[in-house]
Structures are given as C-alpha cells and as structure tokens.
Amino acid sequence: MDPILLLGLVILGIVAGILGALLGVGGGIIFIPVLTIVYGLTAVSAAALSLVGIIAISSWGSAIYLNKGVPNIRIGLMLEIGGVAGAIIGAMIAVYLEDWILIAVFSAVMLFSAYRMIKNGGSDYTLENEDGEFEYNDLKCGESVCYDVEHKAGGTVGSIFAGMISSMTGVGGGVIKVPIMNIYMKMPIKAAAATSSYSLGITAFSGAVVYLIHGSIPLELAAFLIIGSVIGAEAGTRISARIDASSLKKYFSLLLIASAALMLLRAGGYI
C-alpha cells in the first residue's frame, strides 16, 4: 500500500484517540467511515480494523482513568458477560451478511450517536447518604459520591445487544451501553461513561479475536492504526483534562449525520 495511505492510518488513529477522549466515544464512528469511504475496505474488514483501534484507545485510555477511581469494574465485568456473548454472535453473523446491511446498521448507530450528542446531559443518580453499594471520587468537586445500581440482570441482557452491534459494525457499543447504565440501571452519568470506556475494550476484544482467527484483519494496516491510536489516546487524555468539550459535541454530531448519509449513499451505489 502507498506509504502516504499508511501514514494516513497513523493520523487517523491519533485523531480518533483524541476525539474519543474528548467526546467519550470509542473511535469506531470515526474509523468506519474513513476506512470504508477513503480506504475502500469492505464493511467486514473495516469493522475488524476498527475494533483493533478501539481496543488500543480503550486499553491505553482506561489505564489512565482507572487510577482516578471512576470506572465501576464490578458492574463492568458483570455487564460484559452479556457484551462478550453478543459480540461473539455478532462477529459470526457479520461475515455472512451483505455489506449494505452492515452499513445500514452502522449508519443507524451513527445517527443515534448524533442524537445523543445533541441531547447531551445524562442523569445523576447519586445518594444523599453514604449507604450506597458503590462509590467513586468526583474529580470536579473532590468528594466521594455514593450510588446504587438497579436492574443488574436486565442490564446484562441489554449488553448482549450492545455487543452484537459492536462486533457487527465495528463500534465500541458505548452509545448503547451508557444509556443502559445511566437511564435503566440508574448509575450516575460519570460512572456510567467511565465504566463504558473501560468495558469497550472487552466487548471489542471478543469480536476482534473472531475476526483475527478468520483472517479478516489486514495486519499491516492494523499495526499502523495501533501506533496512531495509542498516541491519540495519550494525547486525548491530556487534552481532555484541560478543555471543556461540550460545544465540540454539537459540531461533531453534524459530522456524524453527514457521514451516515455519505455511507448510505455509498451502500446504495449512488457515489
């Protein structure tokens, strides 16, 4: 492959890593449109490569956030039982599906992501007393926050769907997991987002390993993407500590809508 295109993958990884940290996304909604439209990869190869990039961003970024004590590892492990099962099913189904079906599903995920970014916010379900089953350190106010988690079994079942979407489309699944944790399971939004960032990697792993065994991951491209993604994740966590990205989300959501439209047009053969 052209060295310029290979260098482009490093830059893609850096951009995805930075935006992922700023916007709270895994990177898949950035990887997939570029890999399919610019690099001309099939939906399956793009999904497989995207999962590799997501794992790189999630693993390196999580290593930094874990030390701040916000992710709920216990809930993450429980939910990922469903996530992993769903990802394995999704990866096995994806190789038999037509490209346009996968692209249509991915476009729907992008549009939903855009809607959630425009809507913004998220609910805080914190307890006034200190009797919650879980707690985390709120870095902004410097206090320990207690909370309980509801509907644990239902949340795990919902994670199966998130896992399937993740491996079929190459996204991390956070756009589905965060609402499940925040709205359905009543976790505070900061804990839900941090837990989702940590568990993205586990969901992506189970889909990616199936793709690797089936030979669907272009290795040379993956290597360049890994290098860029790790650099981006490191840079992103440093930048996100310094700036408020809430206005950036609204502009990024417009980009997501445009990308979804482009991908649908491409899937339909119009471009």
List interacting residues with another protein (CB under 8 A).
52, 55-56, 58-60, 62-64, 66-67, 69, 71, 73-74, 77-78, 80-81, 84-85, 87-88, 91-92, 201-202, 204-206, 208-210, 212-214, 217, 219-220, 222-224, 226-227, 230
135 burial (CB, 10 Å; 0-12 / 13-18 / 19+) is middle
Q: Which is nearer to another protein, 87 or 267 (CB)?
A: 87
CB of 200 to another protein, least distance (A): 8
DSSP 241: T
CB of 198 to another protein, least distance (A): 8
Q: How far apart are CA 32 and CA 11, in angstroms?
A: 14
CB of 156 to another protein, least distance (A): 9
Contact 103, 265 (CB under 8 A): no
Q: Which is nearer to another protein, 34 or 202 (CB)?
A: 202
Q: Which is nearer to another protein, 223 or 254 (CB)?
A: 223
Q: Which is nearer to another protein, 222 or 264 (CB)?
A: 222
Q: Which residues are 138's β-sheet partners?
A: 143
Phi, psi for 147 (deg, rounded to 5): -155, 160
Q: Which residues are 134's β-sheet partners?
A: 147
CB of 7 to another protein, least distance (A): 12
CB of 267 to another protein, least distance (A): 27
Q: Which is nearer to another protein, 151 or 214 (CB)?
A: 214
Contact 172, 59 (CB under 8 A): no
Q: Is 98 helix (H, G, I), strand (E, B) or coil?
A: coil
Both tokens of residue 116? 């959630």
Q: Which is nearer to another protein, 10 or 22 (CB)?
A: 10
Q: Which residues are 204's β-sheet partners?
A: none
Q: Torsion angle of alpha carbons 173, 177, 179, 181, nearest 10°?
A: -170
CB of 234 to another protein, least distance (A): 10
Both tokens of residue 266? 């491409």
